[in-house]
Chains A and B, each alone.
Chain A
Amino acid sequence: GNSVTQMEGPVTLSEEAFLTINCTYTATGYPSLFWYVQYPGEGLQLLLKATKADDKGSNKGFEATYRKETTSFHLEKGSVQVSDSAVYFCALRGGGYKLIFGSGTRLLVRP
């Protein structure tokens, strides 16, 4: 079945550092891929998405590229801020209704 694997956290960085959160997936067919962010005490917000191979999703300085050859969708940001501290979820949607989520990666950015 479909599945998503994320790197375990927490990831702790200093402000302005480069961020990578790894995400790999297993799926049949051609899923769409998503990154969601959850700030403390809130629900999940869609951060970015990509719907086909080699697509790059981007938003708020974050970006991720759909790599079919490596079945990956790693999240990157060139310079993180304290306000980026949150939990990040990678997810995929195949042909059905369901979103399949990774277990989430907590990011902590220190001033």
Chain B
Amino acid sequence: DVKVTQSSRYLVKRTGEKVFLECVQDMDHENMFWYRQDPGLGLRLIYFSYDVKMKEKGDIPEGYSVSREKKERFSLILESASTNQTSMYLCASSLLEGRNQPQHFGDGTRLSIL
């Protein structure tokens, strides 16, 4: 089974801090994704990566950046955290090719910015 591991289940940070959320997958997937999930808004894509050092903006990239130095690891960075970034963050991975490939998700990180 695919395993996607997010480094923290719960995280509390302060406004203005630089925050790192880490995600690791063990199935050699090319694609990795970061989403945020908010009540009533469903899942919104922040960034995704289809290869090492490659990234593309999703639907809501403002205030975030990402890093993918190794194939198995994809980091989400909040450059200067703000209270409106309090949310549940979900990482996912999938194989590169084929529209029938599902995404596999981690358990999520619930981030609170105070």
Return B76 CB to nearest CB of chain A, in Å.
15
Assembled-state Cα–Cα distance A105/B31 (Å): 27
Interface of B is mostly: strand
B64 is an interface residue with CB less than 8 A from chain A: no
Q: Are A89 and B99 in contact (CB-based, < 8 A)?
A: no
CB neighbors of A among B21-74 (8 A): 31, 33, 40-43, 45, 48, 50, 56, 58
Select B42's contact among A32, A97, A101, beta carbons within 8 Å. Answer: A101
B90 is an interface residue with CB less than 8 A from chain A: yes
Assembled-state Cα–Cα distance A44/B41 (Å): 15
Query: How many residues of B sit at the interface, in one of the four size bands?
Result: 20 to 34
Q: Are A93 and B99 in contact (CB-based, < 8 A)?
A: yes
Assembled-state Cα–Cα distance A105/B14 (Å): 32
Q: Are B99 and A102 in contact (CB-based, < 8 A)?
A: no
Most buried by A among B92, B101, B102, B106: B102
Q: Are A43 and B100 in contact (CB-based, < 8 A)?
A: no
Q: Are B31 and A49 in contact (CB-based, < 8 A)?
A: no
A51 is an interface residue with CB less than 8 A from chain B: yes
17 contacts between A and B (CB under 8 A): A31-B99, A43-B90, A43-B105, A43-B106, A43-B107, A43-B108, A46-B103, A46-B104, A49-B100, A89-B42, A94-B99, A97-B31, A97-B33, A98-B48, A99-B103, A101-B42, A103-B42
Given A43-B106, A97-B94, list of 7 further CB < 8 A pairs?
Answer: A32-B99, A36-B105, A41-B107, A42-B108, A44-B105, A93-B99, A97-B31
